[in-house]
A and B are shown apart, each in its own frame.
Chain A
Amino acid sequence: MNVYFWIIYGVIIISAIVALEATSLLWAAIAFVILLSEIALVYFGIGMPVLGGVQLAIYAGGVTILVLFAIMMIGESYKKPPGKAVTAIVLSLIILVLGTGLSFLSAIDTFPYKVYSTQELGTVFVEKYSFFTIILGFIVSAILYMANAIITKKREAK
């Protein structure tokens, strides 16, 4: 039993719950940063430093700054809605129990973990996924074009 893993597990789940339940959106954003940084710590801990760095830079850096700017611009305009909390809790518990139970019952092999070098990562990336990256670039461009069309669309007169 790895104690560090269960400490990180506790921090991740508690910060996820605080991100959803905190009354102030600013505290929710701070809990969200902690959640994403801990997930980056998991990536570092299992020997994937490049992925951990990307997670820290893009998620804990970029996405969180975007969210903070959105909170600054729109404020907390909508508070305490009557949500379907009981249904949501029951459904999420069912997902947790079923998923964990099925993963224990399934025949997942527990191979030993490997540590790959950055050079191996780059080689596989270039050899197997360079064409896929080009296609993904076109998809991203199309998404950005559509987002621009949505944002700049003039409101139709009724």
Chain B
Amino acid sequence: MANTMQFDLVSPERSLASLEATAVQLPGADGDMTAMPDHAPTITTLRPGLLKVEAPAGASEYLVTGGFAQINGDGLSVLAEKAIPVAEVTRSHLDDLIAEARASHEVAKAGDDQSIVDDAAKLLADMEALGTHMSL
């Protein structure tokens, strides 16, 4: 069994990472999941959260704001709308994200679809929890 798999993290504007990884933890829409080599082929959407990459060269973390991941036998590609290495994330980044989440929550509340309101509220809570988690 292979010990590593090809991991690619791309955003629409540029490719952020392309390396051999041993395990990648993803913030999947249905809950966090960890992909290791020879994972069953899966496609999942992502919710905003942290993406943790473990590689022989060292671990790294990225903040992703939605997108999706495609896992196949020999590799994993994450297509994120926006991805920032955690070391470069600042409070203002997070404030932008929270403001965005709050705005969409307000918009959702004006509508009558309860599930959208719940989703938006959850997104907002996720964002705030993320800030605490990263101690910003």
Tell me whether A and B are bound partners.
no
Give the B-binding residues of A (Cβ under 8 A). none
Give the A-binding residues of B (Cβ under 8 A). none
